[in-house]
Amino acid sequence: MVRIYHNNRCSKSRATLALLEERGAAVEVINYLDTPPTAAELAALLKQLGMTARQLLRTGEDEYRTLGLDNLALGENALIAAMVAHPKLIERPIVVANGKAALGRPPEAVLAIL
């Protein structure tokens, strides 16, 4: 089973989902804006991605500036909490397969974990 943290309004997310389906993958779609990951789930995803919370933040979102997330003194837990409370801040799409995770930017990047 392949899991995708998906936003249907995002062209990269739609392209990644289409690529997975073209490959015949059984895909569990999680619309993360409606069902955000918990802090523990997001921490686990970050570990699988090999990324820090700051690297997964969408810095162009209004919430990023409004919440002062550009403050480098903010640690992992604070950034994770912000992403859980404001899932729009999470870069997308995230695909999980075979105990690994990849960011679908570009969509083909997820093929390495299938």
Secondary structure letter of residue 102 according to DSSP: E
Per residue in 58-95, pLDDT (tens digit) is 999 999 999 999 999 999 999 999 999 999 999 999 99
CATH fold label, 1-32+92-114? Glutaredoxin (3.40.30)
pLDDT in tens, 5-63: 999 999 999 999 999 999 999 999 999 999 999 999 999 999 999 999 999 999 999 99
Domain 37-89 matching CATH 3.40.30.10: the answer reads: yes
Active site residues: 10
- Whole-prediction pTM value? 0.94
For the chain, the domains span 1-32+92-114, 37-89
Torsion region of 4: left, alpha or beta (phi above 0 gives left; psi -120 to 50 gives alpha): beta
Q: Using CB atoms within 10 A of its CB, is residue 77 exposed (0-12), middle (13-18) or buried (19+)?
A: exposed
Fold agreement between 1-32+92-114 and 37-89: yes
